[in-house]
Chain A
Amino acid sequence: MQASFVSERNLDALLDPAGAAWRNVPRTELGLTGTPLGLQPTAAIKASWADKKIGAIDRVDVAALNDGQRLLFRLEWRDPTESRKITDNNVFVDGAAILFPTVPDAPLVLMGAKGAPVNVWYWRADEDAGNHIVAEGFGTTRIVDRDRVRTRAAWNDGRWQVVIARDLRVDSPEPVANVQPGAPAQFSIAVWDGANSERAGIKAFSPVWTDLTIEPAQR
């Protein structure tokens, strides 16, 4: 997949999932699968999900852009229920994330491993700020900051449209992904369906790293 270069530099315009910048950007459909039951980290989670479908969302349309400074993804998927707010103890919200390996071949299915972290740009429907996360295996996610990942989302007619963005390169002591135009990169997508009580490792994800080329600036 390619993150084409755009000359639009206005972040507000780029974050708008319905904005002009995205209009003619080609979309790639990625198939999603539920995280396998056997890999769920605790016996209680396995027991309670044994007869339930993990990963209610099975496909997502992905487009990507870069403006020379930032990398932006636009995700769109069908979800008949908009789960925006936690209104009760048993209510969960929709979410989505872009995952990057921070070392070659970091294990995707297990959300990284010790010494092989994955970097996650995470959007959840009840928060405006995106979360910038590092994980080294299930249950180890930690938020490294809340201001670098920018998100905007809209739900219309049973479809989520979400833009998730971050600077191509960030200065951080944490093992986060830095990408650059011209160099190869990889990513994966995860989607949580709140209406299916999805949270943590109960999610759908694209099960192999997808190659991404970031188009260098054209002048």
Chain B
Amino acid sequence: MSSPKRQIAMVMDLNKCIGCQTCTIACKRLWTRDEGMDYMWWNCVNTMPGRGTPRDWETMGGGFTAGDARPSRIPTRGDFGDAWEFNHEEVFFGGKGSSAHLQIKGEQPDWGPNWDEDQGAGEYPNAYYFYLPRICNHCTHPACLEACPRKAIEKREEDGIVLLNEDRCRGYRFCMEACPYKKLYFNETRKISQKCIFCFPRVEKGVAPACARQCPGRVRFVGYRDDQNGPIWKLVDKYRVAIPLHPEFGTEPNVFYVPPMSPPRFDENGEIDESRPRIPDEYLVSLFGPRALEALGTIKSEVAKVRGGGKSELLDLLIAYEWKSMFGGFDRDPATIEWTKG
């Protein structure tokens, strides 16, 4: 694999994510409505701490340890939470709207794509949680690509988007086993794997991915990594507040996260206790590596600066006063484009 000329990337600010799943639905409606895709959520948002989607993916293995491929397993449909079927016909069209209530048909599930939503961890009054949106990381060292014996996965020369070629794929699923982020899905109808495409048909026309553009919380920044006027370079390289999830997986993601700041803790007397954060440092380090604490330190000192009457380019950027500034030039309105299918 040769390295791409440029790399497009995304930054997600976890301090702003409200877990509304608008990104999830934007992606679902755009890309995963065809046959065999019912259980696919190329974008998911999970509550952390939590078991995630697929269930317990963080401990499934995959990726690389010191450059060596690490074995893993293929997540099942049940691990992903499958796709439930509801009695829509009965409730909405069967004339039983006032007697029957909406429910899952058949066997009742014991897991779903967002089963532990808003559960979190910690004890009242110091309980805590935050949301973690995830897409394919369009890795620089993609474990999926390297696992495939058919070279069915490619990393695009022009922008580093990792794409699965559906004509080459034979449904072997080595990619699903190898990806440590468990961001590939098997389509049982078509007998091929499928994954997030970073909305490449939009990107090619200067439009940000749907999950980013539709986000009401202004969580997601998009742009080329090396664009020094764009938001990605500033957040990742200049201020170093955006870092990859599980860098130890060795795939070098191109999706970066601004780690979440904690609300204050209360002590036994109900007084605010500033001595330690409510979200334990160790937990954030377990997700983002030790750089999580440096990133939070930088944000805190910028906040202090602004509180003291100073100015902060970083905070202005994170607040995203101007929506379009988040998209690194990929800010064209998709409604102005005539899209053709096929």
Contacts and interface: CB of A to CB of B under 8 A. Distances in A.
Interface in A154-211: 199-201
B147 A44 contact: yes
- The interface centre, meaning the residue of B149, B185, B188 with most chain A CB atoms within 10 A of its CB, is B149
B173 A138 contact: no
Contact of B149 (A41, A86, A88): A41
B151 interface: yes
Nearest to B62: A44
A43 B75 contact: no
Contacts of A40: 149
Contacts of B70: 47
A35 to B, nearest CB: 11
B72 A200 contact: no
B74 A44 contact: no
A200 B76 contact: no
Given A43-B69, A46-B69, A138-B149, A200 B77 contact: no
A139 B146 CA distance: 13
Contacts of A139: 148-151
Contact of A44 (B73, B75, B77, B178): B178
B143 interface: yes
Nearest to B173: A89
Contacts of B77: 88-89
B238 interface: no
B143 A44 contact: yes
A92 B171 CA distance: 10
Interface of B: 68-78, 143, 146-151, 170-174, 176-178, 185-186, 188, 191
A42 interface: yes
A90 interface: yes
Given A200-B170, A200-B174, A45 B149 contact: yes
A84 to B, nearest CB: 14
Contacts of B74: 89-90
Given A86-B188, A139-B149, A199 B73 contact: no
State which size class the interface on A falls in.
20 to 34
| Interface of A: prevailing SS | loop
Contacts of A50: 71
B70 to A, nearest CB: 7
Interface in A107-165: 138-141
Nearest to B79: A89
A50 B76 CA distance: 22
B149 A89 contact: no
Given A88-B76, A89-B173, A90-B76, A47 B71 contact: yes
24 contacts: A40-B149, A42-B146, A43-B146, A43-B147, A44-B146, A44-B177, A44-B178, A46-B69, A47-B68, A47-B69, A47-B71, A48-B72, A50-B71, A87-B188, A89-B176, A90-B73, A139-B148, A140-B150, A199-B170, A199-B172, A199-B173, A200-B170, A200-B172, A200-B174
Given A42-B148, A44-B146, A89 B75 contact: yes
B147 A42 contact: yes
B71 A48 contact: yes
Interface in A30-52: 40-48, 50
B147 A45 contact: yes
Given A86-B191, A89-B74, A200-B172, A43 B149 contact: no
Given A47-B71, A139-B148, 11 more contacts: A42-B69, A43-B68, A44-B69, A44-B147, A47-B70, A50-B71, A86-B188, A89-B176, A139-B150, A199-B170, A200-B172
Nearest to B54: A89
Contacts of A48: 69, 71-72, 174, 177
A81 to B, nearest CB: 18
Contacts of B178: 44
Nearest to A51: B71
A44 B14 CA distance: 32
A139 B78 CA distance: 30
Nearest to B65: A47
Nearest to B147: A44
Nearest to B144: A44
Contacts of A47: 68-71
A138 B149 CA distance: 7
A140 B170 CA distance: 11
Contacts of A44: 69, 143, 146-147, 174, 177-178
Nearest to A202: B172
